[in-house]
Amino acid sequence: MSEIYVTATPPTPNGDLHIGHLAGPYLAADVYTRFKKITGNNVAYITYGDDHQSYVATTANNKKIDPEEMVENNNNIVRSTLKSANIDVDVYKNPLGNNKHINYVLTFFLELYNKGKLKKKTKDILYCDKCKLNLYESFVKGKCPYCKSDSSGNLCEACGQINDPINLEQPFCTICKSIPTIKQYTGLFFPINDYKDKLNHFYSSRTTWRPQLIEFCKQIIAKDIPDYPVTYPSNWGIPVPIEGFKDQVINVWFEMYPGILESIDAHYLHQYGIRRENKHKQTLVQFLGFDNSFFNSVLHVASAFAIEKDELLPEHIITNYFYLLDKEKFSTSKGHAIWGGELLKDVPSDNLRFYLSLTNPEHMQTNFSFDDFLQTNDKFTKKWEDTINRYIEVINHDFKGIIPKNAAIHYQSSSLIQRTKKNLEKFYDLEQFSLRKASFELEDYMSSIIDYLEEKVLPMKAKDDVLYTQQVANVTYLLKALSVFTYPIMPTFSKKLMRNLGASSSNLLWNTIYDISTCDEVGNEKEFFYAWNIKTRRGS
């Protein structure tokens, strides 16, 4: 069987994940992975702590704490938040001090170097005389030379363009705020221009990348692409083991592609007991914020071409836009954020997952507001819970708690299930992947169940016993299907509903949608989205 490897961009361990992160690649990758698992695929969700990020070094510096300790603490926090959000990552490693990871990255890097694929170049670099530091990435800020937004070195989050920090307008050192001077360094650079034709060909054959990403990539390769710095003079990262560059480390964005391959190889070896050789049997699916597009869709793909090993390419990339908080960008430094770990202490993960899906920033930026979250949540949990509890009451009252199931499915129910199934198969899969559309589809489906219950089932009670029993069984079909349909977005609810239909939730599979044979005695859990006290906490 072929394997699917799903990645979400490695989170930087300089703090917890906020709900903007969760709404982005982490939830989407989880929903997709869950869907592929219950449709019988061999799929693994991979990410890791991006320990060698420059942001780790600058945050530790600003907070005057030990970076290694910070990495360890924050990786634990991030993992715990992912767990609280029911984001089920199969492989999460820590690169810091991890010899397997480091050696794999170095082998990849040295192979490119030995094949002459990296260029030695002397270049200007910003330097802070006060901090005695070379300034790149998070060490420097200024105005983006392309869109004039506030930007860090090397990448502008606002427009997604990479920049040479030397071209930032009004640059300053993020540690001491001094205006930098200019020095020179001789580093190793990757000439991405050499792979333009191959990149162009690759982009032209993508069927699942969102249109903005394709356009972004085509615009990148339409222009001259500056040689990309693969090494920086710094002491935070994987040290370069080549004479003449030993004061340098490997660029963390370059590290990411072999870093992911290492996780895939290790997972494969663990699963099959043999080394991964046939690279055509695997599929790589990557979820990322649009601001990281350059790295995954240009840098990583070009480095895969350069290594000439027919290596696994990101066949599918699903990007998302920024999620705003009260119409403003999430900002860790300004404290304008809602932290995943904090929020999930109060809010059940399914409620948050459903809301983040409804408001997902798929094709443009969208907004999170607490009031809207509470209102939407109240409406939807009430509607869903009331309906399911009403059904359970009917079973308890009229059928002594035992679900009637000796009835054929009515064409009205089966066509409703069939239509929803077809749509969800599109929205949960890559061709039209959309958390928004999937969650709206679930809402629609639930409304149809309510109508069915009100119009077809309940009025029948006074008219005809046999028909009434048949109609109730049809609601069972609809609810059983609901428990499967909701699993990717609301796994806790899905299993709870399954249990309350008297069926086992241990082997939940997409193709059991029409099977009510295992349904039996209704449960009595009542609270399908358990009560939460966020309102009182917030008001206090």
Contacts to Zn ion by CB under 5 A: 128, 130-131, 144, 146-147, 156, 158-159, 173, 175-176, 178
DSSP state of 317: E
CB of 156 vs Zn ion, minimal distance in Å: 3
Q: Which one-letter amino acid corresponds to residue 35?
A: F
160 vs 187 by CB, closer to Zn ion: 160
Specify the residue, 175 or 299, whose C-beta has the smaller distance to Zn ion: 175
The first and second tokens of residue 468, run together, are 């009434």
Q: Which is nearer to Zn ion, 85 or 175 (CB)?
A: 175
Closest distance to Zn ion from the beta carbon of 55 (Å): 16
Nearer to Zn ion, 130 or 281 (CB): 130
Q: Are 209 and 317 in contact (CB under 8 A)?
A: yes
Residue 155 CB, shortest distance to Zn ion, in Å, is: 9
Beta carbon nearer to Zn ion, 160 or 361: 160
Phi/psi at 113 (5° precision)? -65, -45
Q: How far is 528 from 350, CA to CA, in rounded Å?
A: 10
Rounded to 5 degrees, φ, ψ at 509 are -130, 145
With respect to Zn ion, which residue has the nearer C-beta, 140 or 358?
Answer: 140
Tokens of 293: 């597009």
The DSSP-derived string for 463-506 is: T-HHHHHHHHHHHHHHHHHHHHHTTTT-HHHHHHHHHHTT---T
Contact 431, 318 (CB under 8 A): no
Is 150 within 8 Å of 163 (Cβ atoms)? no
DSSP single-letter state for residue 339: B
Minimum CB separation from Zn ion for residue 86, in Å?
35
388: nearest Cα among 260, 289, 526:
526
Minimum gap (Å) between residue 246 Cβ and Zn ion: 24
Nearer to Zn ion, 61 or 471 (CB): 61
What residues are paired with 323 via a beta bridge? 366
In the chain, how many H helices and how many E strands? 18, 17
Nearest distance from C-beta of residue 180 to Zn ion, angstroms = 8
Least separation in angstroms between CB 33 and Zn ion: 32
Q: Radius of gyration over alpha carbons of the chain, in Å?
A: 26
Instruction: Report the nearest approach of Zn ion to the CB of residue 128 (Å).
Output: 3
